[in-house]
Structure 1
């Protein structure tokens, strides 16, 4: 079941991981082993969580990579569903 308008995973990282710990984007990027630009794009919703980033986040914040990937899939799927009527798809049925 799809969550109604789920937050982008970057919002979760910022609000539940970085802010409570008082960690800056620069510090977090260094700890994750990525550039500040890469992390900033995720935090600002301009990029999604890749499987590799999910593993990095799981190590850094003692979470599961699956939870990060699930958040990204929920976000992506909800957004795709918003454009369902625009898709030019025909139902396929058995002859």
Structure 2
């Protein structure tokens, strides 16, 4: 069964920041990134969870770095699959007619 929705890492970060009642600026200082970088993650403006960012998130927000990376990869894969469905629907595995 394919997943149709996936948690965004940025959404989890945003929820944690709100629950702790801290600003994005203060959270960014703790993570060791610019406010804009953290804002991009929160708003999913790009695939922001690199291995380095995952380690930073692990240190500040908890959760294992590999889980942050997995969450980003699953989210990206779902959204790429939606975008390219029209391109790939007629493709056949190599070796088939």
**What TM bracket, shorter-length normalisation?**
0.7 to 0.9
Shift, 1:62, TM fit: 2.4
Structure ranking higher on relative contact order (CA contacts 8 Å, 6+ apart)? 1
C-alpha distance in 2 between matches for 1:19 and 1:55: 21
Q: 1:8 to 1:38 in 2, by over 3 A?
A: same
Structure 1: give runs of 5+ residues left out of the alignment. Answer: none
Structure 2: give runs of 5+ residues left out of the alignment. Answer: none
1:57 aligns with 2:39: no
C-alpha distance in 2 between matches for 1:2 and 1:66: 21
Deviation sequence 1:38-58 (CA, Å, 0-9, x none): 100110110221111000000
RMSD after superposition = 1.8
C-alpha distance in 1 between matches for 2:19 and 2:3: 25
Number of positions where the alignment pairs a residue of Structure 1 with one of Structure 2: 93
C-alpha distance in 2 between matches for 1:62 and 1:80: 27
Matches within 5 A, 1:1-95: 2-15=2-15, 17-48=16-47, 49-82=49-82, 83-87=84-88, 89-93=91-95
4+ residue segments displaced more than 6 Å: none
